[in-house]
Structure 1
Amino acid sequence: MRILVFGINSAPDLTGIGKYTGEMNAFLAENGNEVTMVTAHPYYPEWTYHPDYPKYFWKTEKKDGVKVFRCPLYVPTNPTAAKKILHECTFLISSIPVWLKLLFSKKYDYVLSINPPFHLTVFPLFYKWIRGGKLISHIQDLQVDVVNDMGMIKNKGFLKAMFGVERFFLKQSDWVSTISLGMERKIASKGVEESKQIMFPNWVDTDFIKPIKKQSSLRSNFGISNQDKVVLYSGNLGEKQGLELILEVADRFKEESNIKFLIFGSGGAKERLEAMKEEMGLENVMFFPLQAYEDLPKLLAVADLHLVLQKKEASDLVMPSKLTGILSAGGLAVITAVPETTLYEVVSDNKMGILVEPGCADALYNGIEDGLNKVGSEQLKSNARFYAEKYLAKDAVLGAFERKLKEELKS
């Protein structure tokens, strides 16, 4: 198969959508498919220009068997809603020369548009209209719903227009794939029939990320003893996670010197969170940059307890990507989720984490206390690893998606 992928993020991004897109492309290429990626220069999650890539120019490279066209874009150091729109639009504009080149080159069987941003689908749709091929919109995050529910954009007319354009793109797609049942229900409510939907969950390399002992972890790298109790958050430090709750709860534990809160990552909220830490005098909270992927199993083993946090408004619109690694590592996680959402139901039904109410410091404090006191923790950790191996194994998820594409191409 010839597959053209369009998305703003890809490898070498360490977290989020870019990580999954890069791994998908590499898997498809390794299995004999011709894969081309049109993407931006790497910048995420640090929101800074990568030193190995040109700031204002284009670059073509071969990565993991994939031909990658890199396009320049505006990268805001403080990614507000308005700046993110400008950021996305500059990438869309800078990709025009690449799309013009692709229109006059070989025909692709599939054009895969990675959302968000949802409006990137405009060029894959034009390609489908002009050259043919099947268009798949892969929804990692229902961007318009999130900004609406969280009140990030106040202009109702603009929001209505965004929902209309999104609905148009989804209906024009041959298939719409997404990562959770809750998101499938939301997409169906936008008028996309079930026959056009493909379940394509995020995955984890269960052979690489697996349970290891605390003694083999990276604790010594961060000045943490094996006797300390570690509550760990790793990932994007954005606004939709509600991470200020970590500091509020850490304040309640600050008299217990053996309990440490470690926060790994970068993002739009990092400076604000660091300022809050200083104002509150929290010596039990430490910030670190994201660690290299090859160190991820040892990083996950640092934690006695993991935090998977998001605000209530985003609770059924996103499936936290960090959770897959935690489950594969057999980690114990405190997870904020609302009853009747996909995340809540999956964790509850499989008994593989401690569920607490989003946005509630008391609930988070109680969940952390339960987790640190080992309330049923060994069974929860065993269930987590079992679920990862059964439902999230990388080769199984990606293999099923590839088979689906081949079957549809024959029909």
Structure 2
Amino acid sequence: MEKRVIVYSYYSPEELTGIGKYNGEMIEWLKGQGLNVTSFSNAPFYPHWRKYEGYSNPWYRKVKNHIIDVRSWVYIPESPGALKKIISEVSFFVSSGVALLLNLRSVRRCDLFLVINPPFFLGLIPLIFSKLFRFKVQFHIQDLQIDAARELGLLPSWLCSFLESVELFILKRADFLSTISEGMKRKIEQKGITKDVILLPNWSDLRTIKPEPPSRWLHNAFGIEESKKLIVYSGNIGEKQGLEIVIEAARILQKEATLHFLVLGEGLYKKVLMRKIEECGLENVTLGNLVAKEKLNEMLNGSFLQLVIQKSEGADSFLPSKLTNILAAGCISIVTANPGTSLHDILTKSSAAIVIEPDSVRALSEAIGNVLSKPEMATEVRVKARNWAEANLAIDQCLSPILKIIT
């Protein structure tokens, strides 16, 4: 008999980056394994924090490519500080709870209810339903939300402690727990979880994202001289990233006339970066929006190098989703990571990227200078990046443990 899976997430499968992107690819993969898939999510909005053009925000249900697609209303704040983001998550929790009730026939017939965290509290309703209808619940943790909030100082300590106790209560009641890295797995286990935490690493589409001869599409798209070597950051522009060091590095490297910095994305800190660029009078930095999915490989291959920047705090509470595609495209990348984190261990062992200490303008500037002066090193890193991706990032390899759970 056909097995039925529900994928339940605050992030929409159409989103260009982050958790939503992986949700969409996971849903298509599950369908490709012969499973009956129902998706509960909302209108795509991340990382722009505005509804994507062509999508409605109210509740609806339709069948798309043999996947039952249920959407719920969500509050989308224009300036998503910590409090407004919590309100947004709660709005989806409430509206999607109604959607689950309205689709009770699909819920009661499912074999596996796959909840994507964050938000950490999203699994409460599925846990209640699982007691009534006796299906299995899996929490897949893409981001240790409360740990990151505590480490980055986004919420008061007393509130983090309360939320951690609620989180532990919820996690202990899931049938299965999974996450994306060894470091996050260790953190989950340290919370007092005794059940095995399954590793489901994020992946890349190795057929679509691959090394290609560089074109000048990226230069033309953003009006940059074709002779420039583009140093690209593409992704969310928020508290976690600490992108001020990119602007400072651009200021230090102004005399390197061949270089141009390109920061692509949306987020609360984009206006802050714009002000810093204006204050410093920098002409070697361009801010822009994320490129469309169909142009992603051209963007990656059109860059001289890619930046994967995040603050030292919370480094094992989340992993940069952009890195999988960067490695798959065989890009040379500079990645900030502390020793002892999963990210640092993987990249230093494989030599698939240049790893530097976080929060250091000096380290970033020197690393860029080394790439400029050592072309043979850059070529070696590119080859090792693609080799590591081929060995570790195929979607079948990353997601196969789900099939063991459901069968």
- What's the TM-score bracket when you normalise by the shorter of the two chains? over 0.9
1:174 is matched with 175
1:278-357 paired onto structure 2 within 5 Å? 278-357=278-357
1:227 is matched with 227
SS at match of 1:312: coil
Residues 60-114 of structure 1 deviation map (CA, whole Å, 9 limit, x = unaligned): 2333432111111111111100111111111111112212123344421011110
SS at match of 2:88: helix
User: Would the alpha carbon gap of residues 278 and 348 (structure 1) be closer, same or farther in structure 2, given more than 3 Å must change?
Assistant: same
How many residues are matched? 403
RMSD (Å), alpha carbons: 1.5
Moved more, 59-68 or 140-149: 59-68
2:186 is matched with 185
1:202 is matched with 202
> Which whole-Å CA distance do the structure 2 matches of 1:145 and 1:126 have between them?
25
2:200 alignment partner AA: F
1:43-192 paired onto structure 2 within 5 Å? 43-55=45-57, 57-105=58-106, 106-154=108-156, 156-192=157-193
2:275 alignment partner AA: A
1:108 alignment partner AA: C
Cα deviation for residue 225 of structure 1 reads 4.2
SS at match of 2:215: helix
Q: TM-score, normalised by structure 1?
A: 0.95
2:113 alignment partner AA: V
SS at match of 1:99: helix
Residues 103-154 of structure 1 deviation map (CA, whole Å, 9 limit, x = unaligned): 3444210111100110111111112122111110000000000000111002
1:369 alignment partner AA: G
Moved more, 115-124 or 267-276: 267-276
User: 1:214 touches 1:226 (CA, 8 Å); kept in 2?
Assistant: no
> Which whole-Å CA distance do the structure 2 matches of 1:62 and 1:275 have between them?
45
User: 2:209 touches 2:297 (CA, 8 Å); kept in 1?
Assistant: yes
> Which whole-Å CA distance do the structure 2 matches of 1:260 and 1:216 have between them?
14
SS at match of 2:70: strand
Listed as ranges, the gaps of 5+ residues in structure 1 are none
User: Would the alpha carbon gap of residues 270 and 65 (structure 1) be closer, same or farther in structure 2, given more than 3 Å must change?
Assistant: farther
SS at match of 2:63: strand
2:8 is matched with 6
User: 2:216 touches 2:226 (CA, 8 Å); kept in 1?
Assistant: no
Q: TM-score, normalised by structure 2?
A: 0.96
Cα deviation for residue 223 of structure 1 reads 3.0
2:360 is matched with 360
1:317 alignment partner AA: S
2:324 alignment partner AA: T
Cα deviation for residue 401 of structure 1 reads 3.0
2:311 alignment partner AA: K
SS at match of 2:307: strand
> Which whole-Å CA distance do the structure 1 matches of 2:257 and 2:84 have between them?
40
> Which whole-Å CA distance do the structure 2 matches of 1:64 and 1:312 have between them?
42
1:149 alignment partner AA: E
1:127 alignment partner AA: F
Residues 313-340 of structure 1 deviation map (CA, whole Å, 9 limit, x = unaligned): 0211111110100100000010000001
SS at match of 2:349: helix
1:31 is matched with 33
SS at match of 1:314: coil
Cα deviation for residue 396 of structure 1 reads 2.7
Listed as ranges, the gaps of 5+ residues in structure 2 are none
2:215 is matched with 215
User: 1:39 touches 1:69 (CA, 8 Å); kept in 2?
Assistant: yes
User: Would the alpha carbon gap of residues 64 and 268 (structure 1) be closer, same or farther in structure 2, given more than 3 Å must change?
Assistant: farther
2:269 alignment partner AA: A
1:101 alignment partner AA: L
Percent of aligned pairs sharing the same letter: 39
1:281 alignment partner AA: G
SS at match of 2:220: helix
> Which whole-Å CA distance do the structure 2 matches of 1:252 and 1:51 have between them?
39
User: 2:215 touches 2:298 (CA, 8 Å); kept in 1?
Assistant: no
Moved more, 236-245 or 62-71: 62-71
2:87 alignment partner AA: L
SS at match of 1:188: helix
User: 1:103 touches 1:131 (CA, 8 Å); kept in 2?
Assistant: no
SS at match of 2:172: helix
SS at match of 2:116: strand
1:240 is matched with 240
User: 1:229 touches 1:372 (CA, 8 Å); kept in 2?
Assistant: no
1:69 alignment partner AA: V
2:188 alignment partner AA: I
User: Would the alpha carbon gap of residues 286 and 64 (structure 1) be closer, same or farther in structure 2, given more than 3 Å must change?
Assistant: farther
> Which whole-Å CA distance do the structure 2 matches of 1:403 and 1:47 have between them?
34
> Which whole-Å CA distance do the structure 1 matches of 2:402 and 2:321 have between them?
21
> Which whole-Å CA distance do the structure 2 matches of 1:167 and 1:373 have between them?
50
Residues 21-64 of structure 1 deviation map (CA, whole Å, 9 limit, x = unaligned): 11101111122111111111111111002332334x21223334
1:257 is matched with 257
Cα deviation for residue 257 of structure 1 reads 2.6
1:389 is matched with 390
1:297 alignment partner AA: N
> Which whole-Å CA distance do the structure 1 matches of 2:257 and 2:356 have between them?
25
> Which whole-Å CA distance do the structure 1 matches of 2:70 and 2:386 have between them?
37
User: Would the alpha carbon gap of residues 159 and 286 (structure 1) be closer, same or farther in structure 2, given more than 3 Å must change?
Assistant: same
SS at match of 2:296: helix
